Amino acid sequence: MADTVATPPNAKFKPRIFSGIQPSGGLTLGNYLGALKRFVEKQDEGIETVYCLVDLHAITVWQDPDALRRQTREAAAGFIAAGIDPKRSILFNQSQVSAHAELAWVFNCVARMGWMNRMTQWKDKTAGKDAEKASLGLFAYPSLMAADILLYHATHVPVGEDQRQHLELTRDIATKFNHDYKVDFFPITEPVIEGAATRVMSLRDGTRKMSKSDPSDASRINLTDDADTIARKIRKAKTDAEPLPETMDGLAERPEAKNLVNIYAALAGQSQAQVLADYAGQGFGVFKPRLADLAVEKLSPITGRMQNLMQDPAEIDRILGDGADRADAIAQPILKRTLDITGMIRSR
């Protein structure tokens, strides 16, 4: 008897990458190394790339409307300045494609309350607070996140470790929908976690993720920082008195040192081992200035391009609108087929 060859998962689906960033203000080095830099690289891999500014997610907590518009444009400028080509990738803001919200409702009815209650970020955001005062959107947003991804039949999503649980929920929702309706309609999306600095940590505390919400501006490098500010923040980054070791094992109990090595590796396009081979035995008096120079070299052009783009908000809006039209052209047939599968009558 001939051996049976298993069909690869998602073989029937066109390879497509989807990812989104919440435009809640202030793109950082963490966003660049953990997301934008990898997004740019994906454009050269021959896979369709769809990138979304998830403004519907942003309003799960109250946002000043003018600030949200400015932050959405700034995030779009950051994508483009980092190297996202709106002609090669689809770049748009989520609220311009209504199918996201429509599919999210279907998935609200597929997902289970127990799944949502187990979401770590929900627990973290409501820990020690009155959870009853949190918005329903904050509780249910993983279902919207699943809709964001599956609306495009995305086969791959670049995610950081902190988002892996939400992608697992997306896979659970796709699996349950396919099972409940006896179809093979939604792909079981695969995570893409790669690179030397997929999780960039605070410059003041190597055990905490670099965040735009940290009260200390010294904890992060903003993509809007000028060269002098970037260099100063790196020079003042928390470290220790020990020289750099020969292997990564020597950084196991040195989170701040490990973070700076990871950042250097990601900016330089090297492995951590390569960085340590170059700097083993040297102290941070040598390493930090080299890292500062590298960061300025890589980030200053992005900062300058962002500033130029922000001077023409109408052009940013045009780019986002064009991206929304292209996204909608993919999304509408998938949404309509979903509604057919679930038994919704549509006369147009």
Active site residues: 125, 209, 212
Q: Which of 318, 326, 270 is nearest to 97 (CA)?
A: 326
- 26, 224 contact by CB (below 8 A): yes
Residue 117 DSSP symbol: H
- What three-state secondary structure class fits 19? strand
In the block, tokens 């500062």 appear at 292
Which residue type sits at 99? A
Asked whether 188 and 68 are in contact (CB, 8 A), the reply is: no
DSSP structure string for 276-317: HHHHTT--HHHHHHHHHHHHHHHHHHHHHHHHHHHT-HHHHH
Q: Do the Cβ atoms of 108 and 140 come closer than 8 Å?
A: yes
31's CB contacts (< 8 A; 6+ apart) are 21, 78, 223
CB 339 within 8 A of CB 177: no
Strand ranges, E, within the chain:
16-21, 48-53, 90-93, 156-158, 190-192
116: left (phi over 0), alpha (psi -120 to 50) or beta: alpha
Which of 33, 11, 306, 330 minimizes the C-alpha distance to 194? 33
The letter for the amino acid at 57 is: H
